[in-house]
Amino acid sequence: MRIATILLASLAAANPANPLWATELPKLSFQHHDWELACDNTRTCRAAGYHAEEGRNRPLSVLLERRAGPGQAFDVKLRLGDADDGIDLPATLAMQVDGRGLGTVELKDAESIGSLNASQAQALLRAVAGAGKVSWRAGGRTWTLSGKGASAVLLKMDEFQGRLGTPGAAMRKGSRPEQDVLPALPAPVVTAAPVAAGELAPLGKQEERILLATLRKTAGNEDCDDLAAIATGESKFAYAPLTSTTMLVSARCWRGAYNEGHGYWVANRKPPFAPALVTQSGTDYDKGVIGAAHKGRGIGDCWGHDEWVWDGRRFVHTASSTTGMCRGIAAGGGWTLPTLVSRRPAAGAR
């Protein structure tokens, strides 16, 4: 499926020439059965678990977030699927682990998300790390969390954050000093540069032919099959100014059942165009920011998102995330699970 290829390859599109990305940033995506893990370049990890996919189970998901560094606790949230038999979701759930009551969880806002307290979070961790059963009840209905895949995901999280063998490890606790845990890393700072004002008129026919021929010969454009539509007049280039001498060129590269991707290139305004590829899976552009949003399946309950920001010389890959598994949790996805984050100073800030 094309979306899977996009999500796996997205981080590779970061420009290695930029000093922010000169060294490989830590990141991790992992999925096993009903659980998945996303760890970003600050070493923050987020694990999401779901109801069992087999059988008739009410949709729910939990999110276990843990920052890097010694002594960091889990922040655990619960979210119910918002399309459960057309019945209004409850505001309060009674939590049980192996049939033992553990108080209640309050669900807030229209998204039906609740936070587990420290004792509930620890009980959930112990249960899913072993063979325990975690469920929530309200109004005669039961939502059950699958533990299938949880131990493998938690082990990967411990390994990524350097917690294996420490007292704070989720899976393999030991006596190794907590201070040995890997520290958090700062999110890279990307300063967005203004782009030139105004609009660019389309190139003349001869210049467009030169540009098209250049793009077709450029290494890395093998996946832009729809460039052929430019030659036949079925599709067109779009242009946006970047500086007084450079522009952003875009054209559709591919189209699937419910996604399409556009190529974006930084090029000179006049020949020789010398185009430099940013991405072949973009979906929108606005004032120096290229975005990419792609559905995991047609109903739109799971998405992948990426962003590139113009820094005055090139577009820097600044964000990459998914919304979790396609499990019917919510339209637009259940969570934000990033593998790449950055900071952008506010306008005027130094």
pLDDT, tens digit, 9 for 90 and up, residues 189-244: 999 999 999 999 889 999 999 999 999 887 556 679 899 899 888 999 999 999 99
- With a CB cutoff of 8 Å and minimum separation 6, the contacts of 149 are 31, 32, 33, 34, 35, 36, 49
Q: Is the pLDDT of residue 126 over 90?
A: yes
pLDDT digits (tens, 9 = 90+) for 7-59: 333 333 333 334 444 457 789 999 999 999 999 999 999 999 999 998 889 99
pLDDT digits (tens, 9 = 90+) for 247-300: 999 999 999 999 999 999 999 999 999 999 999 999 999 999 999 999 999 999
Which percentage of the chain shows pLDDT scores above 70?
90
236: helix, strand or coil: coil
Pure H helices in 17-164: 118-129, 150-160
> Count of residues for the chain?
350
Element (H, E) at 217: helix 205-217
* pLDDT interval class at 85 (50, 70, 90): low
Q: Is the pLDDT of residue 100 over 50?
A: yes
Taking residues 48-76, what's their average pLDDT? 96
User: What is the number of alpha carbons within 13 Å of residue 244 lying toward its C-beta?
Assistant: 0
Rounded to two decimals, what is the model's pTM?
A: 0.90
Contact criterion met (CB below 8 Å) for 288 and 309: yes
Higher-confidence residue: 147 or 218? 147
